[in-house]
Structure 1
Amino acid sequence: MEGEGALEALGEQLYGLIHPKHADIAGKLTGMLLELPGPALSQMLQDEALLAEALEKALRALDKQLESGKTPSSADEDNVSGSSDSLGDQLFELVDIYNTGYSQKITGMLLEQHKDAVLKLFSEPTLLEEQVNLALKTLKEYNVETCISDSSDTEDTERLGEKLFLLVEGLDPVHATDITGMLLEMDPSTLPKLLTNNTTLEMAVRKAQAALETFKSSN
């Protein structure tokens, strides 16, 4: 109950900040933001720029829902995902609200689930938060780098990825794409070893398979 009281207090403060600019949908936006972790909410109350950014993402997510003529909990959810691309776009907007820094990667991991399980994330914010946190934990355990900014590094990584994919495909053709993507997020200095040492490669592939299996079995 104490946690609920703190959340209610945060909600009132957020509503007070949101209402002047978004009176018609202040309640909806406040509800969406309240699905974020408590520390993030507290930070938003002190950082106007952070709050504005979160609101912008929430508004984009609402626009996506309105464009498809429905809310996430509508009974005809099947139409939300007329294509996997549109479903992925909508899911990305919701995942991006959490400001993890890995929205694209997490969205891709969530889309690996069965379609019904993915659709469930749109109507159950708490479940979505759990899935996002789990995916984030999996990525961090795999030493994910935030980004590769240098273009030449990107080209080198792409070439390395092509070679690595061919090797991984021989070990696990079904999950070769996912596993290769995970391996490419390892420390760049270790990647050449994967191409030259079969034992190291097999160990890395098994670790990636275990991480994928753990993620999928927890859903």
Structure 2
Amino acid sequence: MDNDDDLETLGEQLYTRIFHEHNEDAGKLTGMLLELPAPVLRRMLQDEVMLATAVEKAVKALHVDMHQETSKTRTEEDNDSMSSDSLGEQLFDLVDIYNTGYSQKITGMLLEQDKEAVLKLLSDPKQLEEQLNAALKTLQQQRFEETDISDASDPEDTEGLGEKLFLQVEKLDKLHAHEITGMLLEMDADVLRQLLRERTMLEAAVHKAQAALST
């Protein structure tokens, strides 16, 4: 199957999934998501939480564009006049699709490059994915080294994390809070701290746990 056929198939599948909740804007939202790399689109179709997050961001972007009457593709002149804040917001939205748990940090690392390099990342999904993976490896290595030095796997620390986690999970699913918290506590303590810091990451983990409970 060539790339055009593959994209058309992915587009049809995305449209079908999006149409149920956003029938009026399904076409526009599908078109926006199809700007992402094909591997990311396939992953979305297999991960409902990732798809829902991406659609939500596309809906927000669409409403902003409609309000400002800037829904057409930006020209190179528009790109030249973009502010650093605007570049950062666009880059964050793309990075956040990958749901790494380090979206803000990775965006900050990528924004350390000059403006032309950042603009290239916005228009070249493959290059963005390569640099994102490199930044992610760096952050994970740093965290591993920090953990190596400071983490003594204190049971009391894990207990404290469990209590904090339960309070957050209870807000999302009061009925299954105990079961879901128990499932999440099987993760590394470092990941649990990330869940407490990153609301989106916590919601995704809770959704996955709910899916596992319902099977």
TM-score, normalised with respect to structure 1 = 0.53
Change (3 A) 1:102 1:7: same
CA distance in 2, matches of 1:106, 1:22: 31
* Cα distance, 1:51 vs structure 2: 2.0
Give SS of 1:49's match: helix
Aligned match of 1:81: 82
Q: Does 1:134 align with 2:130?
A: yes
Deviation at 1:63, TM superposition (A): 4.3
How many aligned positions are there?
149
| 1:1-219 map, 5 Å | 1-65=1-65, 69-71=69-71, 73-75=73-75, 76-77=77-78, 81-82=82-83, 84-122=84-122, 124=123, 127=124, 129-142=125-138, 144=140, 185=143, 187-188=145-146
Residues 178-219 of structure 1 show CA distances to partners (whole Å, capped at 9, x for unaligned) of xxxxxx545115669xxxxxxxxxxxxxxxxxxxxxxxxxxx
Amino acid aligned to 2:19: H
Aligned-residue RMSD, C-alpha: 3.3
Task: Give the aligned residue type for 1:187.
Answer: E
Q: Does the Cα contact within 8 Å between 1:142 and 1:186 map onto a contact in 2?
A: no
Name the % identity.
50
Change (3 A) 1:100 1:71: farther
In structure 2, what is the Cα distance between the partners aligned to 1:115 and 1:48? Answer: 34
In the TM superposition, residue 94 of structure 1 has moved relative to its aligned partner by 2.6
Task: Indicate if the aligned counterparts of 2:18 and 2:30 stay in contact, CA closer than 8 A.
Answer: yes
How far apart are residue 144 of structure 1 and its match? 1.5
Once the two structures are superposed, what CA deviation does each residue of 1:43-92 show, in whole Å capped at 9, x if it has no partner?
A: 4334443322221122234345556653483234258634x234312321
Shift, 1:134, TM fit: 1.8
The 1:110/1:70 distance shift into structure 2, 3 A limit, reads farther
TM-score by length of 2: 0.53
